[in-house]
Amino acid sequence: MTLTFEDFPPGHFGTFGPRRVTREEILEFAAEYDPQPMHLDEEAASRSMLKGLSASGWHLCAIMMRMIFDGYISRTASLGSPGVNELRWLAALRPGDDITLDVEVAEARISRSRPDTGIVTFKAVARNGAGEALCEWVSPIIVRRRDAMKAEQAG
Amino acid sequence: MPFYEDIKVGQRGELGSFTFTAELIKKFASQFDPQRFHLDEEEGRKSLFGGLTASGWHVAAVCMKLMVAYAQRHARHAAERGDEVAIGGPSPGFRDLRWIKPVLAGDTVTFFSEVESLRASSTRPEWGIVQARNTGTNQRGELVFSFLAAGFVPRRNAKP
């Protein structure tokens, strides 16, 4: 069953994960995309503001993307996202952390320019196993409306 | 990475360029964002994007990659001049990130960074916070990507 705009009323949507993040994948992502010593080297990381090896914030973003893909985007009539309103990195993601993602629909409205679609704004919070918030992410996605999907399937 | 005191509002740097090949687009997408328009040419053509499109998070990660390389070149030059090298801190986050146009297979994106604001950290006296508008422009001169980044930069003579 494909999820459409109507399946995203404002309120709590779901909790996804846990997803374990290993040291190896932290180092691999950092080496490719964010080779700062605080993401690659224990010793340098211990002297950094984050006081220990931590994942690149962009790695956490990519992991959250994969978690929402597996959680619901893969079965949503999504046309993509225009961007991110706000994203805050609140605490360091450490090797071995188990991430859970709490997703809330902050706002859902029909698009004025494309009335066969709606704009669903999500607020997602990633937490580690201790329940500490690591990241808060507010982003709209464009989702097709049910009637538009039905009309296309019928036609 | 310069020290807080050496940064001026309006400073603009060209971070570097990157070509998003079909192979790299699919590799990132298969790991982190396996939506069909990021994995398959035909699905991309049928989508709103009109072709195999890089994940927006891939574009953002590449911007970071080029930003780090840019900062490392800067640090190397400072070290060669015998200047003290500043080591940048983490970022508290970003705002207003926009994927303005799709980055299609074969596109080359050039990234820029322009300082928008500077302030001393109220809670960490050895650090300042810089806000910069980071952008990406494709080979046709079209703005494709933009966000307002924030980052901690060390203050001169204030060792943590």
Cβ-based contacts of B76 with chain A (< 8 Å): none
- Specify the 3-state DSSP secondary structure of B107: coil
Cβ contact (<8 Å) for B49 and A61?
no
Residue A15 touches chain B, beta carbons under 8 Å: no
Contact A34 B68 (CB under 8 A): yes
Which residue ranges make up each domain of chain B?
Answer: 4-154
Sheet holding B108-120, edge to edge: A11-20, A98-110, A117-127, A133-144, A83-89, B93-99, B143-154, B127-137, B108-120, B12-19
DSSP annotation string for A89-119? E-S---TT-EEEEEEEEEEEEE-SS-TTEEE
Write the CATH number for A98: 3.10.129.10
CB-based contact, A35 to chain B, within 8 Å: yes
- Write down the ipTM of this complex: 0.95
Split into its structural domains, chain A has a count of 1
- CB count within 10 Å of CB B114 equals 13
Between the CA atoms of A7, A86, A94 and A129, what dihedral angle is there, to the nearest 10 degrees? Answer: -40
How far is residue A51's CA from residue A37's CA, in Å, rounded to a whole number? 12
Looking at beta carbons, which residues of chain B come within 8 Å of A89? 90-93
pLDDT at B160 over 70: no
Percent of chain B having pLDDT more than 70? 98
pLDDT tens figures, B93-131: 999 999 999 999 999 999 999 999 999 999 999 999 999
Residue B159, pLDDT > 60, answer no
pLDDT in tens, chain A (155 residues): 899 999 999 999 999 999 999 999 999 999 999 999 999 998 988 888 888 999 999 999 999 999 999 999 999 999 999 999 999 999 999 999 999 999 999 999 999 999 999 999 999 999 999 999 999 999 999 999 999 888 877 76
B59 vs A152, B40, B150, CA distance in Å?
32, 17, 18
Which amino acid, one-letter code, is at A40?
L
Enter the CATH code of domain B4-154.
Answer: 3.10.129.10
Tell me which chain B residue has its CA closest to the CA of residue A86.
B95
Residue B76 phi, psi (nearest 5): -65, -45
Which residue from A142, A23, A133, A121 is spatially nearest to B93, judged by alpha carbons?
A: A133
* pTM of the complete model: 0.96
